């Protein structure tokens, strides 16, 4: 029954994705902005003014991120693609000169390497230029963003009453459990957003510092790449790390590339062993296989946005199911005690 409920929920989410995705994104932002809104309201600021302050802060932050970080990163994508292609060709030359156990032919490896650079160089057009170039797709993106902002305003203005209204849809005997499930889901999403942002900053700053120290070309753009890719769990870290190593190989040689490998692996190990248990506080406890599968499925179904929201969506479902099991276990224990 639980599996069937999850399947039906996922089907409805996908069918109503034009509404569901903006609403889910609004909830993710609300988990961070609603506590600050309530704090301002408790300090005497009118609720409507507190909402305006938080919305202006959010819009300013997103604008700054887009102009100062994403914009500079996109402008360097061509150079990143060129350096990655150059690194691939250097690997090809080495394979041609050293007949290793893989027995790869020089022509096949060269063909594969030649496609790496152009594919990465066209990523800017695929990720940003294509969105801005197609009027229909741009209209859909803007409509989704406006809808998400509208949902967010309502959640910040009246989020508590929305939650209370949803709880009242249940029978009186089930309302305490419904409230408990909702609180667990809300805490899980809030913990995920804070955790993934902290991890992204940690990776971007430390790996970026190592790239600057080693004088790797376009270290600033690579640092931004590491930061942005960290929002896609597991897959993003490996992809951004591989690109950093390839750029270091093309720009500075094998010794620097090996040093970058050590830095990337060290930072990722510290993140997984030390940082993750602290920042997530056991609220998001998904197996890496589940996380990677969610990222892959989300990317296939809904592109970049799907890859970004797939893990928190799965974490939300897992948290609700886990809390439901705890409620049933507590009820069974209470019945046995009687």
Q: What is the pLDDT of residues 241-296, one digit of tens each?
A: 888 888 888 878 888 889 999 999 999 888 877 777 776 655 667 777 778 888 88
What pLDDT score does 255 carry?
87
On the question of pLDDT at 13 being above 80, the answer is no
What pLDDT score does 40 carry?
92
Residue 127's pLDDT band, with cuts at 50, 70 and 90, is very low
Q: What is the mean pLDDT of residues 193-220?
A: 88
What pLDDT score does 128 carry?
44
What pLDDT score does 56 carry?
93
The percentage of the chain sitting over the pLDDT mark of 70, rounded to a whole number, equals: 74
On the question of pLDDT at 209 being above 70, the answer is yes
On the question of pLDDT at 210 being above 80, the answer is yes
What pLDDT score does 131 carry?
40
What pLDDT score does 114 carry?
53
On the question of pLDDT at 206 being above 70, the answer is yes
On the question of pLDDT at 110 being above 70, the answer is no
- Over the stretch 173-190, which tens digit does the pLDDT of each residue have? 888 888 888 888 898 899
Q: What is the mean pLDDT of the chain?
A: 78
- Residue ranges per domain, the chain? 19-169
On the question of pLDDT at 130 being above 50, the answer is no
What pLDDT score does 298 carry?
80
What pLDDT score does 239 carry?
86
Whether 113 and 91 have beta carbons less than 8 Å apart is answered as yes
Q: What is the mean pLDDT of residues 218-247?
A: 85
Residue 134's pLDDT band, with cuts at 50, 70 and 90, is very low
On the question of pLDDT at 71 being above 90, the answer is no
């Amino acid at each position: 029954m639980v599996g069937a409920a999850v399947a039906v929920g996922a089907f409805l989410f996908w069918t109503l994705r034009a509404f569901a995705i903006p609403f889910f994104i609004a909830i993710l932002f609300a988990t961070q902005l609603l506590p600050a809104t309530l704090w301002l309201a408790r300090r005497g600021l009118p609720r409507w003014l507190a909402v305006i302050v938080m919305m202006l802060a959010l819009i300013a932050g997103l604008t700054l991120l887009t102009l100062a970080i994403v914009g500079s990163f996109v402008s360097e994508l061509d150079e990143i693609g060129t350096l990655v292609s150059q690194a691939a060709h250097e690997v090809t030359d080495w394979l041609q000169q050293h007949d290793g156990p893989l027995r790869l032919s020089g022509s096949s490896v060269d063909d594969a390497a030649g496609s790496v650079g152009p594919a990465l160089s066209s990523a800017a057009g695929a990720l940003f230029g294509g969105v801005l170039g197609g009027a229909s797709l741009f209209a859909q993106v803007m409509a989704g963003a406006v809808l998400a902002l509208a949902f967010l305003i309502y959640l910040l203005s009246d989020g508590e009453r929305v939650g209370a209204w949803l709880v009242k849809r249940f029978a009186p005997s089930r309302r305490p459990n419904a409230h408990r499930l909702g609180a667990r889901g809300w805490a899980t999403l809030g913990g995920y957003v804070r955790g993934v942002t902290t991890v992204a900053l940690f990776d971007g700053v430390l790996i970026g510092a190592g790239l600057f120290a080693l004088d790797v070309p376009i270290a600033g753009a690579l640092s931004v790449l590491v930061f942005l890719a960290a929002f896609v769990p597991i897959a993003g870290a490996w992809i951004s790390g591989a690109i950093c190593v390839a750029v270091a190989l093309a720009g500075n040689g094998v010794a620097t590339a090996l040093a970058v490998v050590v830095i990337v692996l060290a930072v990722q190990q510290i993140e997984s062993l030390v940082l993750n248990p602290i920042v997530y506080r056991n609220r998001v406890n998904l197996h890496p296989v589940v996380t990677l599968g969610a990222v892959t499925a989300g990317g296939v179904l809904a592109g970049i946005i799907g890859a970004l929201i797939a893990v928190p969506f799965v974490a939300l479902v897992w948290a609700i199911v886990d809390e439901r099991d705890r409620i049933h276990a507590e009820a069974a224990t209470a019945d046995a005690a009687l």
